[in-house]
Amino acid sequence: MSVQFWNQVKSNYRLGELIHGKVEHHAPFGIFVNIGDEVVRGLVQITDFADSGDMTPEMYPDVGLPIGAVIVGYTEDERHQIWLSVKPSVLQKALVHLKLPATSERS
């Protein structure tokens, strides 16, 4: 695909953005998500479900269920995928933009 195509995808689907879709398909390595785009679809890899512990395909959300996820990357080839994460820590950052105080050095 062209650079122009991927620039458009990146402007429509920005890194760190929370998006919604429906679980479309299970695979051993993750789930595919229909994000309502005729060309691009989402992928949550098995490593992008939990902050810690083991994730197995048996734990995937059911096909057809709605899902919210955060955009974390792109597969810039003919697969037309955006990488998604549903890790609690990643979702928290997308939902709540905290203003963290600057750390001060103590003497």
Print the domain residue range for 15: 3-95
Tokens of 100: 């963290």
Contacts of 17 (CB under 8 A, 6+ apart): 70, 71, 94
User: Is residue 84 a contact partner of residue 42, using CB atoms and an 8 Å limit?
Assistant: yes
Question: Distance (Å, rounded) from C-alpha 73 to C-alpha 13?
Answer: 9
- Residue 102 in domain: no
Number of domains the chain contains: 1
Per residue in 35-73, pLDDT tens? 999 999 999 999 999 999 889 999 999 999 999 999 999
Residue 14, φ and ψ in degrees, nearest 5 = -85, 145
- Residue 89 in domain: yes
- Residue 45 in domain: yes
Per residue in 66-104, pLDDT tens? 999 999 999 989 999 999 999 999 988 888 766 666 555
Beta-strand pair 18-27/41-45: unpaired
- Residue 50 in domain: yes
- Residue 107 in domain: no
pLDDT at 65 (0 to 100): 96
pLDDT at 103 (0 to 100): 56
CATH number at residue 86: 2.40.50.140
- Residue 46 in domain: yes
- Residue 35 in domain: yes
- Residue 100 in domain: no
User: Is residue 87 a contact partner of residue 49, using CB atoms and an 8 Å limit?
Assistant: yes
Per residue in 6-15, pLDDT tens? 899 999 999 9
